[in-house]
Amino acid sequence: MLKDITLGQYFPIDSPMHRLDPRTKLILLVLHIVAIFLANNAITCGLVTALTLLVMLLSRVPLATYLRGLKPILFVIVFTAVLNIFLTAGTKIELFGYQTPMTWEGLVLAGKMALRLVLLIFASAALTYTTSPIALTDGIEKLLSPFAKLGLPTFELAMMMSIAIRFIPTLIEETDKIMKAQKARGADFESGSLIRRVKALAPMLIPLFISAFRRADDLAVAMESRCYQGGNRRTRLNEIHFAGIDLGATCIFLLFFAVTVALRFLL
């Protein structure tokens, strides 16, 4: 159920990917996603696939974990693929002498779309598996810091994000508990009309909100006790540094990107 979602979980191990500056990873991910969508022929598709696989390999996260991350969106991939196969105009596919509504062009397009989606998921997962939420929010904060001068509360935004991430598992657990407790009192979340079902959610949502507010209250007091005072004077346990490894990674990605763009428009 809710607990099965592995996308977005951090893997606390050490790898070259883990050692990269989160800012590098964020920028390169954006660059890579652009490349994935630009890739349109066998060679460019091959290139972006190779780079994605290289990144996955370097992350030292088991392949099975990546594959499990696909599960929640498997339906979307299959659905778009089927639509593409049937709805694209072109040469009809013949099977056992019968003409089917599927087309060769559709099959190719479906394959490309599916590949893009899968690569997209893998690449994003490679970021979240190798970057702790704190490092990630740190990175986002640093990248947004030019906007801080314009009055954007970048530090507060980053803090909010990391606290949200911290409390997701806690709140999922809590939801599960409250749902069970209300079920034990005869609540029915699964049957009836839509309106009935929405109404049935109140006994679950109200306690959940109350508990979330209580937690927020407690947390605020705890943070205050630990001298939290906003972002100005803060230092970091792990300062993020743009190091040699980041430069290397950036060069590799830029090279791949240039080749992909060139091949797309030249071939």
Residue numbers at the binding site for another protein (CB under 8 A): 3-4, 10, 12, 132-134, 162-163, 165-166, 169-170, 173, 177-178, 180-188, 202-203, 206-207, 210-211, 214-215, 218-219, 221-229, 233-239
Nearer to another protein, 111 or 207 (CB): 207
Task: Name the residue type at position 28.
Answer: L
Nearer to another protein, 113 or 171 (CB): 171
- CA dist 119 to 52, 124, 160, 198, Å? 7, 8, 29, 37
CB of 224 to another protein, least distance (A): 7
Nearer to another protein, 64 or 266 (CB): 64
Q: Which three-class secondary structure state does DSSP give residue 102?
A: strand
Nearer to another protein, 195 or 266 (CB): 195
Nearer to another protein, 94 or 176 (CB): 176
Cβ atoms of 175 and 210 closer than 8 Å: no
CB of 230 to another protein, least distance (A): 9
- The Cα–Cα gap between 180 and 189 comes to 10
- Tokens 């009935």, residue located: 196
- The Cα–Cα gap between 140 and 203 comes to 37
- The Cα–Cα gap between 6 and 71 comes to 9
CB of 94 to another protein, least distance (A): 41
CB of 207 to another protein, least distance (A): 5
Tokens matching residue 250:
């950036």
Helices 104-130, 63-70: axis angle to 10 degrees equals 120
CB of 52 to another protein, least distance (A): 24
CB of 171 to another protein, least distance (A): 10
Tokens matching residue 13:
């191990």
- Tokens 């709805």, residue located: 87
- The Cα–Cα gap between 51 and 53 comes to 5
Nearer to another protein, 14 or 96 (CB): 14
